[in-house]
Structure 1
Amino acid sequence: MVNTRTAVGGLRRLAAVGVAGAVALSMAACAQSQRGNNDGSSGGGKVGGTLTFGSEGAPKLFDPFYATDGPTFRIAHQMFEGLTGFKPGTAEVTPALAERWEQTPDGRTWTFQLRKGVKFHDGTEFNADAVCRNFQRMAGQTGAGQSSAVSQYWVDNFGGFADGAKPSLFRSCTAKEPHTAVIELTRSTSKFPGVLGLKPFAMQSPTALEKYNANNVQAQGDSFSFPEYALQHPTGTGAFRFSKYDKANNTVELVRFDDYWGGKSKLDKLVYKIIPDETARKQELQSGAIDGYDYPAPADWAQLEKDGFQVLKRPAFNIMYLGFTQKNNEKLRDLKVRQAIAHAVNREQLVKTQLPDRAQVASQFFPDTVDGYNKDLKAIPYDPEKAKQLLAEAGASGLSVNFYWPSEVTRPYMPNPKDIFGAIKADLEKVGIKVNPVTKPWNGGYLEDVDQAKADLFLLGWTGDQNTPDNFIGTFFGDPTNRFHTASASWGAQLASELKSADEEPDAGKRTKRYQDLNRKIVEEYLPAVPLSHSPPAVVFRKDVKGFTASPLTSTGESFAQVSKG
C-alpha cells in the first residue's frame, strides 16, 4: 500500500515463503478453485452495469512502475497483475500470472512456470519473453528514470539499475522456455517472491511499452514529466482495461476486458470518481451518486450501518508511531528520555477514545500476523511517575520539544491526527514536558519537515505492502539515513546491518528468530520511536453491491473482478 513517504518521493520496501514446487502447486490449485470468484467471496449478483467508487484523490499516472500513491495503485490493481499475488482477504502470497515456482537452496535463483493462454489488453501474448522484457525495462532505467522519486519501489526493493552504478538485488531474467522464466538475484531476500505481487512490478505489455516510449521520463525542475504510455495507454492483463481519464469531471473509467484469463468481470464498467473530501464522499454515497468509498471516518461507521450501508472492516495491517528525531535535540539522544516519553503516553486510553473499534495497542512495529512478531514483548506500560523519574535521572526535567502533527489528511492508521495529537500532548504535559505544537498540511510541508529533522516528535505510520518484517522495520530503520535520523545514534549503523543480515537469511526458521530478537532490541535497547497502535480501516458500499472482499492490504489487494450490483 501506499505509505507515509510517498508525498516526498516515497520510501517503500510475505511472510517468508521459501516455496518449493510442490507447495506452490498446492497453492495454484487453491487459486484455481477460487478463480470463478476472483475475490474469494461467495459471488452472486447480476452481470452488467456500472459501479462508481469514490476515490480520495486523483491518480498521479497509470504506469504502476512509476507509482507511489494510493489512488494510482487502487486503479492499477484492476488492470495489472504480477507473477505472484495475494490471497483474497489476506496478505498471504498466492500464484497469479505464475502458476508455481521453485527456488535454489541459496535463495538466489527462482524458476517461474507461467500461465498459458494469458493475453495483455492489446492482444500481446503473455509469456517468458514478456516477463524478461519487463524486468529489462525496470532494471534498465536511465537518467530521470533512476530517480528515487520516479522508480521508488525499484530503488527500495531492488536497489540499483543495470548500469551497475549501485548494487542491485536483480541480476538477470532468462526465458528458459516459452512459459518458463528464471530470475536470478544477487543475494537471498525475504522479499521474494511476494514482492512480485506489488503493483510496481506487475507485468505490462512489451508491445505497448515500446510503442508509446514508456521509459521516456524527463526531469522538469523539481518535478517530472511522464510519457504518453503512463498517462493514456496503460496495458496489463487484468480483468479491467483502461478506457479514459476525464479530468473535467474528475473520473477514471475502466471497462471489462472480455479476454481475461480468469473469466469476464461481472461489471461492464468501473468508474472512479475523485472526491478528496471525506464528508463529500459520504454525501455522494447517501445521495446515490456513488456506490462506495474508502476510509469512512470511524465516527461515521455506526450511523452508516444504521442507514443501511455495508461498512466492511479490514484486518489491521498497519502501525501508528510517535517518532523521535535525535539529530538536533540532544536530550532525545538519551535512551532514558525516549523511555520516559514512552511511559508518559497512555496508549490504552488513546486506543479507546481516538481509534476505531478493534484497534489495538502496539508492542512493536508490525502486527502479530507478520512472521517474526515477538509474542513475549509487552507494550511499554503507561507509568507517568516512572516517566518523571527517568527524566530526572537524565537531567531532562522541564524538557521542551517541537511536536509535529499533520493536517489535511486521514490515514488508515491515523483517522484524526488533530485529536490524536491533542491526547498525546496532554499526556506529555502531565509529566512536565513542554510541548511546542507545530502543524503543517500533509502534502504542504509536514513530511518534508520531518525528513529534514525539524520535528523533535512527530506522528506517522505505515500500512504494509506485503507480509514480511523487512517491509515494516526494514523500511523504517534499514537505512541509517532515515526519517528518524538514526545515523546520528551510536547504534544506527549496527541496527541497519542487523536488519540487512536478517533479510538475507535463507532459512525461514532462523530468519523468524532473528526478527523476533530484533523486535525486542528495537523497543528495549534502541527505541527510535514509540509504537502506538494498529487500526482496522474500513470501506463502505451500498447494500446492492455484492462480491467484494476487504483486504488487510487495502486497495492494493482488493479486486472488483467479480463484484456486482443488484
Structure 2
Amino acid sequence: MNTVKKVLAVVLAAALLCLTLTACAQGASNDPKDTLIFAQGADPRGLDPALVDDGESSKVIVNIYEGLIKYAKDSTKLEPCLAESWTVSDDGLTYTFKLRQGVKFQDGTDFNADAVKFNIERQMKGNATEDMPYADFVYGYVTKVEAKDANTVVITLKDKCTPFLYNLAMSMAAPMVSPEALKKNNNNVNEAPVGTGPYKFVRWDKEQSIVLTRNDNYWGEKAKTKNVIFRIIKDNSARVVALNNGEVDMIDGIDATVVDEITKAGNTVDQPDGMNINYMAYNTQSSICGKPEVRKALSQAINVPELVKSLYQGYATPADTILPSFVPGFSKDIKQVAYDEAASKAALAQAGVTTVHVITYSNPRPYNPATGKALAEAVQGYLSKVGVTCNIEVFDWTTYKQKVKAGDFDICFYGWTGDNGDPDNFMSLLSDKDPSMNVSRYDNAAYLDLIAKGKAAAEGADRDAIYAQLEQNQVDNSVWLPISHSKLLSAYRPVVQGYYYHVTGNIFLSGMSKTK
C-alpha cells in the first residue's frame, strides 16, 4: 500500500472509531458482530420517501420504511407486505387492500387504513408539493382513497394503469410514513424518518454517516444484526481501502479498475446484471440542443461501443435501447444513431455549433460506476474531434440534482435504475413534467399519447409493441444518447452472511449478519 493510502486508512480508521463510540453512546454494543457498516459514495438527499428521488436516499429508506406491497428478494415479482392481500375490479379502476393487523410505526402509533389514506392523499393532486418528484408517477391516476374500516383501504383510479401495483412496491413515494411524525415535522421527515420497517433511525451526521438500530417491535422477522451504519465515503479508492482494511463491511459505487484490488484482499465482488440505463441527455429547451438535427449530429460524434469498452472494461454493455433486455417491451430492432465522425463534423459546422455547456456529477452511480466526470471527459474527447468544445462543470451529487432541475446546460449525464421492472418506469421519464425526472424537458404529443396507451394496456405482446414505438420515437428525435447498461458492482467482506444487492439498486440489510 502506498503512503497516501496508508494515511487515508489511518484517517478512515479514526473516523470509524468515532462512529463506533457514538453508536455506543446510543446504547449499541461494542461487539463488531452487532454492527453492519455499508459505505456509499454520496449523502442521501433526504429520508422522506415522498421528497427524494435518488439511490443514496433509497438505500437507507428501504431499511426504515415499508409499502403495501414489496418485491421478491431476487426479482421485481410482487409479494404482500403491509397489505396481506388485494383485489382489482373487473374494470381495472378499483383496488381493495386488506391490511396486516397489529403493525405499529416506530413511534408507537398504529399503522391502519387511516394512515394509508393520509400517506396517499398527501401526494395526490392538490396536496402534493413541488418537491415531491414521484407523487404524480405513483399516484397521478388516483382519484379517491377510502378507509372502509381499520384494515381495509379502497383506491379508485381515473383510468386503467397497469403499472400501478408495481409502483406501490417502489422505494419512492409508496412507503408508509407515520402520520403523527409528518404532523410534528411540518410534512417533512427528511431528517426525522419514522416507518414500520426492521430498522429505526438514530442519527445523521451530514456527509459522514447515518446510524440505524433494530426495531425490536417490528411485526415481521427481526433484523439479524442490531445496528447499521451507512458511511459516506465520496472517493472511490478510499471506499476500497476502507473495505480492504476491514473498516467497513460492504461498499458500492466501484468500477472495473478496482475489482482485482478488492478480490486480492480476500473480499467478494458482487456483479449481477443491472436493471438500468446510463445516458447522455440533451436539453431540448436550450438554444443549441433544442434542434433535433444538432442533437443527432452530436450523437454521431460519439463511438459508444468504443467508449463503453474503454471506460467500463467488460462490466457494462453498450445500450441501443433505453430498456434493459430482460424488461418487457425491449426490442432488438431499435438502433441508436450510428457513429459517423465525418457526418457529425459537417452537420455541426453547418449549424454553427462550436461549444456546448456540459454539467456532470463527481461521484459514481449504480448505472455509471466510472463517475459522471470520467464519462463527460470521454465524451469531451470525441466532440473535440468534430470541432466542438465542451465546457464541463462538475458538482457533488446533491448540488448536481439542483443544477439539473434549474436547466442551465446543453448536455447533462444521468441514468436510471428501474424501480419496478415495468417498461413504463423507464419510458415515462421522457413524459414527466418534473425536470428532475425528465431532464431533457422533452414534450412530444405523439410520445405522450403512446405513454397513455401503454399505461392502460394489459400486459402482453400488444403492450410491449407500444413501448418499442416509444423507444423509436426517442431515437428519431435524438433526445438521449443511451450509453450503457451496467452490472451492479458492489463488494463485501467474507464475514458478511446473506449478502445481496437487489436488482432495483437497493440494499436490504435486515437479513444480513456478521460472523465476527
Output the TM-score relative to the length of structure 2. Answer: 0.83
What stretches of structure 2 of length at least 5 have no aligned partner? 1-30
Between the aligned partners of 1:344 and 1:279, the Cα distance in structure 2 is 31
1:113 is matched with 98
Between the aligned partners of 1:263 and 1:133, the Cα distance in structure 2 is 26
Q: 1:204 to 1:478 in 2, by over 3 A?
A: closer
Q: Which residue, 199, 217, 231 being the options, matches 2:191?
A: 231
CA apart distance, 1:78:
0.9
Output the TM-score relative to the length of structure 1. Answer: 0.76
2:442 is matched with 486
Q: Is the 8 A contact 1:85 1:96 kept in 2?
A: yes
Between the aligned partners of 2:413 and 2:39, the Cα distance in structure 1 is 27
Spell out, residue by residue over 1:306-345, the C-alpha distance to the aligned partner (whole angstroms, 9 max, x if none).
111121124222212222234344686243x433333332
Q: Is the 8 A contact 2:430 2:441 kept in 1?
A: no
Q: Which residue, 247, 267, 272 being the options, matches 2:205?
A: 247
Spell out, residue by residue over 1:202-258, the C-alpha distance to the aligned partner (whole angstroms, 9 max, x if none).
12334x337x524x15xxxxxxxx4xx5534x332212222x215399433222223
Between the aligned partners of 2:105 and 2:333, the Cα distance in structure 1 is 48
Q: Is the 8 A contact 2:298 2:344 kept in 1?
A: yes
Q: Which residue, 504, 510, 515 being the options, matches 1:561?
A: 510
Q: State the secondary structure of the residue aligned to 2:501.
A: coil
Q: Which residue, 394, 403, 408 being the options, matches 1:440?
A: 394
1:419 is matched with 374
1:204 is matched with 177
CA apart distance, 1:287:
2.7
Between the aligned partners of 2:53 and 2:200, the Cα distance in structure 1 is 20
Spell out, residue by residue over 1:531-565, the C-alpha distance to the aligned partner (whole angstroms, 9 max, x if none).
1111123222111101021112112xx31111010
Q: Is the 8 A contact 2:282 2:480 kept in 1?
A: yes
Q: Which residue, 77, 82, 102 being the options, matches 2:62?
A: 77
| More contact order relative to length (CA 8 Å, sep ≥ 6) | 1
2:322 is matched with 365
Q: Is the 8 A contact 1:315 1:551 kept in 2?
A: no
Spell out, residue by residue over 1:460-513, the C-alpha distance to the aligned partner (whole angstroms, 9 max, x if none).
2222222222222211234497532434xxxx2332233233223356543222
CA apart distance, 1:81:
0.7
Q: 1:195 to 1:351 in 2, by over 3 A?
A: same
2:175 maps to a residue whose letter is: A
Between the aligned partners of 1:554 and 1:261, the Cα distance in structure 2 is 25
Q: Is the 8 A contact 2:36 2:249 kept in 1?
A: yes
1:477 maps to a residue whose letter is: S
- Superposition map of 1:413-562 within 5 A: 413-414=367-368, 415-430=370-385, 432-443=386-397, 450-451=404-405, 454-479=408-433, 482-487=438-443, 492-506=444-458, 508-523=460-475, 525-555=476-506, 558-562=507-511
Between the aligned partners of 1:478 and 1:231, the Cα distance in structure 2 is 27
CA apart distance, 1:408:
2.4
Q: 1:57 to 1:343 in 2, by over 3 A?
A: closer
Between the aligned partners of 2:197 and 2:289, the Cα distance in structure 1 is 53
1:170 maps to a residue whose letter is: V
Q: 1:327 to 1:367 in 2, by over 3 A?
A: same
Spell out, residue by residue over 1:37-74, the C-alpha distance to the aligned partner (whole angstroms, 9 max, x if none).
xxxxxxxxx99621122233334443323333433322
Between the aligned partners of 1:209 and 1:444, the Cα distance in structure 2 is 25
Between the aligned partners of 2:198 and 2:399, the Cα distance in structure 1 is 38
Q: Is the 8 A contact 1:49 1:268 kept in 2?
A: yes
Q: Is the 8 A contact 1:547 1:563 kept in 2?
A: yes
What stretches of structure 1 of length at least 5 have no aligned partner? 1-45, 160-168, 218-225
Q: Is the 8 A contact 2:69 2:81 kept in 1?
A: yes
Q: Is the 8 A contact 1:107 1:506 kept in 2?
A: no
How many pairs were matched up?
481
Spell out, residue by residue over 1:137-192, the C-alpha distance to the aligned partner (whole angstroms, 9 max, x if none).
444985xxx4322x222144334xxxxxxxxx222222334433211112222331
1:68 is matched with 53
Spell out, residue by residue over 1:396-437, the C-alpha distance to the aligned partner (whole angstroms, 9 max, x if none).
27642315142522222232333323333333344x332233
Q: Is the 8 A contact 1:398 1:433 kept in 2?
A: no
